[in-house]
Amino acid sequence: DTAVSQTPKYLVTQMGNDKSIKCEQNLGHDTMYWYKQDSKKFLKIMFSYNNKELIINETVPNRFSPKSPDKAHLNLHINSLELGDSAVYFCASSRLTGELFFGEGSRLTVL
Amino acid sequence: KQEVTQIPAALSVPEGENLVLNCSFTDSAIYNLQWFRQDPGKGLTSLLLIQSSQREQTSGRLNASLDKSSGRSTLYIAASQPGDSATYLCAVLSGNTGKLIFGQGTTLQVKP
């Protein structure tokens, strides 16, 4: 009965590959997010969707493409992976101005 | 541009001490402020959420205060325990951009 679940938890891949991370929330929230936590543990927002519509798109390379098939899901697809993409990616959800709930994170390592 | 700063970056205390973690933000136009806890290799757990109209929130041994005019929040932990050891993150939901902006966290170690 996990509130925000993301898969996979760990992902190790070669430079140049394409990979996806999936996120699902069962809290009935309208808004979902992707955050990136770098090696210095700093969390930075990448994208935010409200009711399947993109509302925040930070300065993220266009190799990163979020997709929200419905308001309970927000997936992140990354093309042509680079070494600098190695990080922990967190999915979160909330009501629009409410409390955020985070998933456990997906640790991406690009070799 | 909203910036969130947490001081200190790291803190080590003996068990049983009361302690205060500090968070400051540069833009007072916020919807809310949220304190999170992150254990090593884990996700973030929400501890307390303070709406912009509120001054404080309490949950168990935790008390968070908010002073919007001065751009400050504190997280007070009473009677600290070794299980409180974690990184504590403060985040503000910007009223202008709708973005949740995080501080860099305070890593707390409570020694038995």
Residue-wise pLDDT for A17-65, tens only, equals 999 999 999 999 999 999 999 888 889 999 988 888 888 878 788 899 9
Report chain A's mean pLDDT, rounded to a whole number.
91
Count the neighbouring beta carbons within 10 Å of the beta carbon of residue A87. Answer: 19
Tell me how far CA of residue B24 lies from CA of A62, B68, B70, B101, in angstroms: 33, 10, 8, 12
**Residue percentage of chain A with pLDDT more than 90:** 72
Cα–Cα nearest to B85, from B48, B34, B39, B46: B39
Q: Is A95 on the interface with B (CB under 8 A)?
A: no
Q: How far does the CA of residue B80 sit from the closest CA of chain A (Å)?
A: 24
Whether B52 and chain A come into contact, CB under 8 Å, resolves to no
Q: Chain A partners of B104 at a C-beta cutoff of 8 Å? A: 40-42
* Residue that the structure tokens 């996120």 belong to: A23
Of B34, B87, B98, which is closest to A55 when you measure between CB atoms?
A: B98
Q: What is the pLDDT of residue A42?
A: 87
User: At A1, is the pLDDT very low, low, confident or very high (cuts 50, 70, 90)?
Assistant: low
* pLDDT for position A75: 96
| pLDDT tens digits for range B11-68 | 999 999 999 999 999 999 999 999 999 998 888 999 999 999 999 999 999 999 999 9
